[in-house]
Amino acid sequence: MRTPLTLGKIAGISIRVHSSWFLVVALVTWSLAGGYYPQEYPGWGTAAYWSVGVITAVLFFASVLSHELGHSVVALREGVPVRSITLFIFGGVAQIGREPPTAGAEFRIAIAGPLTSLGLAGIFNLLKLAVASNPILAAPVTYLGRINLMLALFNLTPGFPLDGGRVLRAILWGLGRSFRKATRWASAIGQGVAFLFILFGMSQMFLGDFLNGLWIAFIGWFLNNAAESSYRQIALRDRLVGVAARDVMAQECPTVSGDLRLDRLVDEHILNTGRRYFFVIKNGELQGLITLHNVKGMPRDRWHAVTVRQVMTPVDAVFWARPDEDVWALLQRMDEADVNQVPVMDDGRLVGMITREHLLRHIRIRSQLGI
Catalytic positions are 68
Q: How far is CA 52 from the centre of its chain?
A: 32
- Distances in Å between the Cα of 11 and the Cα atoms of 67, 90, 95 are 15, 24, 14
- Distances in Å between the Cα of 276 and the Cα atoms of 148, 305, 337 are 48, 21, 17
For CA atoms 47, 52, 53, 55, the dihedral sign is positive
User: Residue 325, CB half-sphere, CA atoms under 13 Å: how many?
Assistant: 22
- Residue 161: cis peptide before it, omega within 30 degrees of 0: yes
| 246, 330 contact by CB (below 8 A) | no
| 230, 194 contact by CB (below 8 A) | no
Residues 6+ apart with CB under 8 A from 38: 44, 49
Give backbone dihedrals phi and psi of 323, rounded to 5 degrees, phi first.
-60, -30
**CB count in 10 Å sphere of residue 151:** 23
Helices (H) and strands (E) in the chain, counts: 15, 10
